[in-house]
Structure 1
Amino acid sequence: MADDDVAWYQRLLDAQPDLVDFPWCWTAVQPLTKPVSVAEVARRLGGDPANIEERAGWDFEEPDGTLHLQQVGPAVVMCQTAGWEGVRDEALRWLSDGTSVHSSWWSDANGRSFLCYAAFGLVLTRLEYLDDDQASGEQPTALDEDRTPLRDDPGYPAQLAFVERRTGIRLDPAFLDQPHATVVIRTPIPDDPRPPGTHGSADPDLAAMFLLADESTQRSALRWALDLLADEQDLRSEPAVRSVLDALAQHWPTGEDLSRQMNALRARLNNEVNASPGMSPERWRHFNRMRAAEAFAATVTGSRGRSYPPDTLWYAQQAFQQRWPTIRAELWRRARHQRG
């Protein structure tokens, strides 16, 4: 049963809390028309097979691009700490040449995750979570039947159970400690041209229309959407939220103090999510509220320089949920209206 699989992975993660506290990627590569080996996976991702070494365990502060690999029958499994080669489109295309690839990545720090399926050099389906209603890829619906029993479970154990359901390969807890092949990518596959941030890749049309608008139009459109979120998610009483809304009337919100206030608000709301019962309506309410706060935080210019407005749109989309198509249409209209 799927529920039994989820419970199995929940026990595994409970015993390995670092796997949740740090970004982590788990990938299964299965041969279709070409054999696959540890050396071949390393080569395809820009590593040198000659530099593969046997290593037990791993270090969550290891060099970027460190791959942990193991041959499992005809397949190869791969995991990365603080890396995500297994869910990069560029890497998936090379990795899936003559193979089938399923991969799960998550980052608990910002509540994000990805599930990917690729075959024959094509990224067929990309999900941001099991209940994602805006899947992307060459065949966005390819995973729908298999994910249906798990759609209402947003947790990481369900993602791992889903990968096992698709591949028949279970993440063996012994793999976490036993010696296995390890290699550091020295010449990673370069990124495709893409916009910075997240929303531009998810909705390039709206991001392009938004960035063509002048600054005043951008701020006005964001203020309209954030004003709705402040009421919908009961955030208007938060001083940092009021500061963002007040500032957007004239300029971009800025300042280290405001950044710290927003970070503190995000942390508090994230704690409320974690403290609520899993899969409960209460948990989803807290989750949407946290996403709304992140939309406000994304508008604030801190030590890293100017904000990138489409990032605000990505978090707002998560918070608005079913209302997003209507909100998106109005944002597009406001940005387009500037040019008549």
Structure 2
Amino acid sequence: MRQAGPWPLLLAGSLAGRHGDNSEISSDILAPLADLIGLPLTVHLLPDLASGVATGDVVQSRLFNKFRRADGLRWVRHADEGGIRVICLKGLATAHLYYDEADLRTMSDADLLVSAADRDRLVAHFQAAGLEFHPAEARSPWGHISDASMLPLTDSEGASNVDLHTQPDAWPLHLGLSTAEVFAAARSMDTGAGTIWVPSTTHMLLLCATHAARDLFGPSTAKSIIDAALLLQQQGDQVDWAEFEERLRRGRVRKPVRAFLTMLDRLGADVRSVPVTLRDVGGAEFERAFDDYVALFPDDLSMLARARRELLLCAEPAVAMRRNGQRLRGLFRFG
């Protein structure tokens, strides 16, 4: 079995710098790794390897992470002041849940889940405070399908970036995990700058997996891999695996989620709490994805490679066919 490169150290979390052996890892990985997970977390997880990194660069990067996080929390508080409850998703949640210091986790925006009943009121509330919708930059000529979130909300200076979600993740997951179910199981936590609501441990792991699969196990998913590894290391015994598997079935995501959990296993995460039947994926496409992680994603996937990965690894066949049909209709839409 091929070696997992720096990943066993990266997925060891707070234990990485004290118990890992990085003698066979080259410092050449620091720059590409920092592009994937941010410089502060790179230095934190590989302190010996990163001893030559300028302290000023790390401090500046951490300050940017802190600014993004604080700005996200500001909009959570603003929603609460308007009597609207939101659930923090992705980095705004995991930064506070699993990291030694929240500002180690880089994030580009604040992902907030809002109920359909509160959506329009929250948009109006945010717009009155200076946020406006801004067209998102296209990800690829093939197209990105989003039926779970709205256009990003930003202020006139581009300092704030809020992504409102009306579903936990794109179709078909919300067949197995609805917004109402996420709200019902959500838990509150203190951030030091106010209280936020976050998904349950079971729901959080499922969302880490489906977000990564939706992005085809590409560069943007390195953060999700680390988030999930820390979740399993710290709270794996809190995952309700019976509920988890039932949601996979109803949400038609068993295949991609199994691939994600198998990837965690192969990359060196602590997956002892994960049922063996959920981490037994193999095949050529899985190995190609594994190699991409180990090499830290030196090349972008071609359009053909993206379609192949989605079909073979990241979606059930019927789901992949429906998505491709939507893309084709979008490409040939007129007017």
TM-score under structure 1 length normalisation: 0.28
Give the greater-gyration-radius structure (CA). 1
**Structure (1 or 2) with the greater strand fraction:** 1
TM-score under structure 2 length normalisation: 0.28
